[in-house]
Amino acid sequence: MRVYRPRNQRYNPKYVHKNDNSGRFSVNMWAWVSAKSPGVIVHIEERLTSHIYTRILEEIMMPSVRVVYPEDNFVFQQDNCPVHTAHRVSEWFQNHGINVLDWPSLSPDLNPIENMWAAVVKSMKRRRVRFENKDQLLTAISEAWHDLPRHYFTNLCLSMPNRLLKVYEANGEMTKY
């Protein structure tokens, strides 16, 4: 873009074109849900790596899951994101005796948490609020999460057997889930 202005007027507001931000903000969130509990939701400031992910599992997931499942009697479900399947992460699960659900590559995304994220976004859109900054966005996400009825999480998780059956019946093709 060419700009024509008199000499020594580079910072004169009359000759400066301000860039408008789109008004969009993005944040990285991590959460877990179960049939017994909505779990927790946290903001992750760093780029997700296997090191950061194992720290989340150690410092956030395990303490909060132990409150709901004190006997460590649960199966952890995650997709095949490279961070989730990294050697460091697999080793962490093995060292902690956590049963991780096998997830085929190129599988349909049946993880109930994806439905939960969609419900959070839908709730936020209904409010029709324009966020001025990331803190407002984080607050809105947290409010939307906590506004979801407890039975919503239960129903999502309890739908897994039916989700898997429908995919099986459709020979791995698309389903309503």
- Distance from chain centroid for Cα 133: 19
Q: In the numeric block, which tokens belong to residue 25?
A: 């903000």
Q: What is the pLDDT along the chain (177 residues), one digit of tens a residue?
A: 676 788 888 778 787 766 655 557 789 999 999 999 888 999 999 999 999 999 999 999 999 999 999 987 899 989 888 999 999 999 999 999 999 988 777 666 678 888 899 999 999 888 887 888 899 999 999 999 999 998 988 998 888 888 888 888 888 777 776
pLDDT at 173: 76
Instruction: Please tell me the CATH superfamily of domain 25-169, with its number.
Output: Ribonuclease H-like superfamily/Ribonuclease H (3.30.420.10)
Are 158 and 93 in contact by the 8 Å Cβ rule? The answer is no
Strand pairing category for 99-100 and 41-44: unpaired
The sign of the CA dihedral 145, 125, 81, 83 is negative
**What is the distance between the alpha carbons of residues 75 and 102, in angstroms, rounded to a whole number?**
10
Longest alpha-carbon distance in the chain = 74
pLDDT at 164: 83
Cβ count within 10 A of residue 123: 16
If you compute the radius of gyration of the chain from its CA atoms, what whole number of angstroms results? Answer: 22
